[in-house]
Structure 1
Amino acid sequence: MRPKIYLFGDSITEESFGDGGWGASLAHQFSRTVDVVLRGYSGYNTRWAQKVLERVFPGSQDGGGEAPLAVTVFFGANDACLPDRCSGFQHVPVDEYKQNLRSIVSFLKKQWPTTHIILITPPPIDEDGRLQFPYIENPLNQPERTNEAAGAFAEACVAVARESGLPVIDLWTKMQQFPDWQKAHLRDGLHLTPRGNRLVFEEVVAKLRDEGLSLESLPVDLPLIADIDPNDPLKAFQK
């Protein structure tokens, strides 16, 4: 069986297998070496995510199952909803967010000690975009998320990664280094455009490479066509 990479997160992960999505790009990148497995749950925060870990990941009841090569953990965009705005039911206080991330990391480490865990911070928020594309009724006509709040959760995610000795992609900081990131990288103030997806894909590939996981380091599944002798094709399958 091919090894696996799990993508665990909220809607930004759930949508990642769409056209041009960062998850689909990962699946293409590792198409002969790794199965990229989507575990994205739109609207979820870390409070809900850490409650369903045993249902999300196989083998939790019988010794852990086969360890995946890596798991990306990409939460915080919903935790950062403001408690007094229209999506307040998704809000999680930042201190609880940190503890929930620790619980998720602890579960994964206990399950699979050799698996590489990569944390990803929530992205920045284009507040104008959130007002233009509300998902539920917004009687206050105020963005349910702010970039400042998202930044606090991004900082908390980075802090948990550092204390846990884990690699982290600080997407909140990285994305804002680009001009016009609000519209170039975010289609509705929160979710990713093709350019935003490309940025996440490139950052994940770079982190995986830093962890020793790359096309060059991973074995290919079954013989490549270039390695099959046209005069004796079946010989390649006897190895």
Structure 2
Amino acid sequence: MHAIELDQILLFGDSLTQLADAYVRKLDVVNRGFSGYNTDWCRLLLPSVLATIRPTPRVRIRLVTVLLGANDAADARYRANLDAMLALLRAELPDARVVLITPPPVHNSRAREMSDSRSAERTTALVAPYRAACFALAAAHGVQCLDTWDLFLGPGFDVNDIPALEQRLDPILEDGVHFGAAGNSALFEGLVRLIKREGPELDHETMPQPVEFWNLVDPARADETIFAHARRD
């Protein structure tokens, strides 16, 4: 009996759509994003999420990404909630690599245009404490932090220059807060670089897959060659 169960990547808080393509036939990418949810609500949800994908003797969660903050209105609660969620992840998944992703800078005028009466105001200045909380909590919990500000703006960018900031973010944030196609691509590329540097065993370009590519299967020895890389009982 050949075992080809795939280990998993958990995306909590937002989707990294390109990861599913990158890890096809190598790892299962499990997306648990909840549109409009803040960390108060996600803190309540996380135990249930983990219960549905809890590791088994044959399947491990290898990587967890956490991207939250776009819908929070109080940075103190954001920090406390994120602290509790990271503590739970480290306790429940001690062998998983966890990457905390900072909420992105904001295209101020576009976010203002897209907001409604129920939405808290979002500006880059107001998001800055959330970013700082991510740095501090990542260090405290011994996890990696991927900084969207550096990814999208470059190190040392003057975020007080609002016209330049918004020009830089125009192709990246579709509604001023959430990623467009260019933002998703930049985030994916940044995460891949971090993985290659900090966790090369999870590099999607070099990870083995449990079943062979079709053009490398020998029809005369299909059972042997299809499962060339499979775990065996």
TM-score by length of 2: 0.81
Note if contact 1:71-1:118 (Cα within 8 Å) is conserved in structure 2: yes
Q: Runs (4+) of structure 1 moved beyond 4 Å?
A: 63-66
Following TM superposition, by how much is the alpha carbon of 1:153 offset from its aligned partner in structure 2, in angstroms?
A: 0.7
Asked whether 1:144 is paired with 2:121, we answer: yes
- Give 3-state SS (helix, strand or coil) of 2:170's partner: helix
Asked whether 1:101 is paired with 2:82, we answer: yes
Instruction: Give the 3 Å change call, closer, same or farther, for CA 30–126 of structure 1 in structure 2.
Output: same
Q: Which residue of 2 aligns with 1:40?
A: 33
Q: Work out the CA distance in 1 between the residues paired with 2:227 and 2:99.
A: 38
Q: Which residue of 2 aligns with 1:76?
A: 69
- Give 3-state SS (helix, strand or coil) of 1:57's partner: helix
Q: Which residue of 2 aligns with 1:190?
A: 177
Q: What root-mean-square deviation, in Å, do the aligned CA atoms of Structure 1 and Structure 2 show? A: 2.3
Q: Work out the CA distance in 2 between the residues paired with 1:33 and 1:59.
A: 20
Following TM superposition, by how much is the alpha carbon of 1:154 offset from its aligned partner in structure 2, in angstroms?
A: 0.6
Matches within 5 A, 1:61-210: 65=56, 66-79=59-72, 91-92=73-74, 94-134=75-115, 136-137=116-117, 144-177=121-154, 180-209=167-196, 210=198
Following TM superposition, by how much is the alpha carbon of 1:237 offset from its aligned partner in structure 2, in angstroms?
A: 4.1
Q: Work out the CA distance in 1 between the residues paired with 2:89 and 2:150.
A: 26
Following TM superposition, by how much is the alpha carbon of 1:182 offset from its aligned partner in structure 2, in angstroms?
A: 2.2
Note if contact 1:58-1:64 (Cα within 8 Å) is conserved in structure 2: no
Map Cα deviations across residues 52-72 of structure 1 (whole Å, 9 max, x no partner): 222112258xx8644300110
Instruction: Give the 3 Å change call, closer, same or farther, for CA 215–238 of structure 1 in structure 2.
Output: closer
Amino acid aligned to 2:117: E
- Give 3-state SS (helix, strand or coil) of 2:138's partner: helix
Q: 223-232 or 41-50, which moves further after superposition?
A: 223-232
Asked whether 1:223 is paired with 2:204, we answer: no
Note if contact 2:23-2:204 (Cα within 8 Å) is conserved in structure 1: yes
Q: Which residue of 2 aligns with 1:6?
A: 10
Q: Which residue of 1 aligns with 2:199?
A: 211
Q: Work out the CA distance in 2 between the residues paired with 1:235 and 1:108.
A: 38
Q: Work out the CA distance in 1 between the residues paired with 2:207 and 2:223.
A: 24
Q: 102-111 or 225-234, which moves further after superposition?
A: 225-234
Q: Which residue of 2 aligns with 1:85?
A: none
TM-score by length of 1: 0.79
Note if contact 1:127-1:143 (Cα within 8 Å) is conserved in structure 2: no
Q: Work out the CA distance in 2 between the residues paired with 1:55 and 1:40.
A: 13
Amino acid aligned to 2:30: V
- Of all paired residues, the percent bearing the same amino acid is 30
Map Cα deviations across residues 153-177 of structure 1 (whole Å, 9 max, x no partner): 1111111111222111111333123
Q: 1:24 aligns with which of 14, 17, 33?
A: 17
Amino acid aligned to 1:69: R
Following TM superposition, by how much is the alpha carbon of 1:201 offset from its aligned partner in structure 2, in angstroms?
A: 0.7
